[in-house]
Amino acid sequence: MNAKPVVVGVDGGPDSLRALAWAAEYASTAGAPLIALTAVETPAAVGPYAMAGWVDPSILEDRAHTMLTDAVRDTLGHEASVEQIVVRGHPAEAIVAASKDARLVVVGNRGRGGFAGMLLGSVSQHVVPHARCPVVVLPHQHADQDRGPGQ
């Protein structure tokens, strides 16, 4: 019987990199495979000037692959055993879909597009009630939390 994987959503932002590190440690301890998942959402092109800002989806996917590879290497090292997956679609929906076969889903509190003051980012807000397995949401770490007491 294969162990169910730990799935972590990665968008390259600081919270997702912390989630990746946490998920890797958990997966190692639990003896579970680790899947780092990135979703590429192709913006809808609307209106007569849409083609001026249009980006080929394959270019977006290539950038996502590069970002994911760099994030895994920089966070976990060259020898990390991580399945890296890039899918097309909304990040929250991609993570929820992956949760159907997962042991655990890990996400950061806020992604690259997070608004200051939000308790949870839009992806984590969607994933928590819709996932088909337990979810860990790592809290956002402010710059002043990096320093120890009295520093």
CATH of the domain at 137: 3.40.50.620
Confidence label for 139 from pLDDT (cuts 50, 70 and 90): confident
Number of domains observed in the structure of the chain: 1
Does any domain span residue 151?
A: no
Given a cut of 60, whether residue 115 has pLDDT beyond it is no
Confidence label for 21 from pLDDT (cuts 50, 70 and 90): very high
Q: What would the DSSP string read from start to end of 24-77? A: HHHHHHHT--EEEEEEEPPPPP-STTGGGG---HHHHHHHHHHHHHHHHHHHH-
Given a cut of 90, whether residue 51 has pLDDT beyond it is no
Does any domain span residue 128?
A: yes
Does any domain span residue 124?
A: yes
Cα 60–chain centre separation: 16
Does any domain span residue 149?
A: no
Does any domain span residue 82?
A: yes
Residue 26, domain extent: 6-142
pTM, 2 dp = 0.82
